């Protein structure tokens, strides 16, 4: 009998420290950087973001989200035999943040590793976990997106520092006789490395290059809208579905304009799009599971519905996953 995988629980966590646009505008003004709530909202749809305290790590956020997902699924940490963490802001160079989360949860023994595909990371990680469950390599997986992007922001660059926030989202993915993950479509194009990157690394005990985020916003926007439509349509085709069948589009929460443009291309009304970017900004790999959990816990996203998850990020990477909840 063929094995499938289904999401059986969702969870998320945002750091307590919430900065509204007004808070950030006031903070930036002290360093001579000028912006406004109106400027941020008009261009991005973002109204607030959460920043982790200095003593809080990516794995702390991931662990909190994972515990909520486990509770929703009715599983104990000891039931988990696979942990994948999608992140671009790990606790350490190594070991993986997934190994650290595994230890904090007390879920030791199963496979644990990180996936680095930036804002597409959760879609990539979910696809990998699905393949491992279908193959029999795992039965109960935790798939987590977690980021502390506040640590890599240049607060002298108003075009990027207002966009990002910290947070984590998680799902429990379990083996099932009924299809849950229906199709996925993943891509990357390394020639676009330069339009969104953090061009620094650790060498000889010091940082070489620039350890802060750099982005060509216009280039990212232009590329994102096109590839998100292509990935969504490809996933639909693989599953024998059409865009009209989608109950909810749950995109990477980067910019409301990108989400609106993608929905328009798929001929989906915005009332079929889960939007949380206004409350937490761009949380990179965490944004899709954050939005998914918000939709589930609000009661809008229900079991049996068809969901399209999609993301695009530095690399350049992009992808989509079509699933039945």
Which are the catalytic amino acids?
119, 252, 282
Angle, alpha carbons 184-190-196 (nearest 5°) = 95
In sequence order, what DSSP letters do the residues of 199-247 get, joined into one string?
-EEEETTEEEE--S-EE-HHHHHHHHHHHHHHHHHHHHHHHT--GGG-S
Total Cβ atoms within 10 A of residue 235: 24
Helix (H, G, I), strand (E, B) or coil at 44: helix
285 in Cβ contact with 144 (< 8 Å): no
- Phi-psi category of residue 315: left, alpha or beta, with phi > 0 → left and psi -120 to 50 → alpha: left
Cα(52)–Cα(78) distance, rounded to whole angstroms? 28
Cα(153)–Cα(158) distance, rounded to whole angstroms? 10
C-alpha separations of 5 from 136, 149, 171, 257 in Å? 11, 30, 12, 32
Angle, alpha carbons 256-42-145 (nearest 5°) = 35
103 burial type by CB count under 10 A (0-12 exposed, 13-18 middle, 19+ buried): middle
Cα(166)–Cα(154) distance, rounded to whole angstroms? 15
Total Cβ atoms within 10 A of residue 189: 12
* Chain mean position to CA 263: 18
């Amino acid at each position: 009998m063929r094995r499938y995988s289904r999401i059986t629980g969702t969870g998320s966590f945002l750091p307590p420290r919430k900065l509204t646009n007004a808070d950030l505008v006031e903070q930036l003004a002290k360093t001579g950087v000028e912006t406004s709530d109106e400027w941020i909202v008009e261009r991005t749809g973002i109204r607030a973001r959460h920043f982790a305290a200095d003593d809080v790590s990516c794995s702390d956020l991931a662990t909190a989200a994972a515990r909520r997902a486990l509770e929703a699924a009715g599983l104990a940490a000891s039931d988990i035999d696979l942990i994948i963490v999608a992140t671009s802001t790990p606790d350490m160079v190594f070991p993986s943040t997934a190994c650290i989360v595994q230890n904090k949860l007390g879920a030791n023994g199963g496979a644990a590793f990180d996936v680095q595909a930036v804002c597409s990371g959760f879609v990539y990680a979910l696809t990998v976990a699905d393949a491992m469950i279908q193959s029999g390599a795992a039965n109960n997986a935790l798939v987590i997106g977690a980021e502390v992007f506040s640590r890599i922001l240049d607060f002298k660059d108003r075009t990027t520092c207002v966009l990002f926030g910290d947070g984590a989202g998680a799902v429990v993915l379990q083996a099932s006789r009924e299809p849950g993950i229906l199709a996925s479509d993943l891509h990357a194009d390394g020639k676009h490395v330069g339009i969104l990157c953090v061009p620094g690394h650790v060498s000889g005990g010091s940082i070489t290059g620039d350890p802060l985020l750099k982005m060509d916003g216009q280039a990212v926007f232009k590329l994102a809208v096109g590839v998100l439509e292509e990935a969504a349509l490809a996933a639909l085709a693989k599953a024998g579905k059409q865009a009209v069948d989608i109950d909810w589009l749950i995109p990477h929460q980067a910019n409301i304009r990108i989400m609106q443009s993608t929905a328009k291309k798929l001929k989906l009304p915005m009332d079929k799009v889960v939007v949380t970017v206004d409350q937490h900004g761009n949380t990179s790999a965490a944004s899709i599971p954050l939005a998914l959990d918000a939709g589930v816990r609000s009661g809008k996203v229900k079991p049996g519905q068809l969901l399209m998850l999609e993301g695009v990020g530095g690399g350049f990477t992009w992808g989509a996953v079509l699933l039945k909840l």
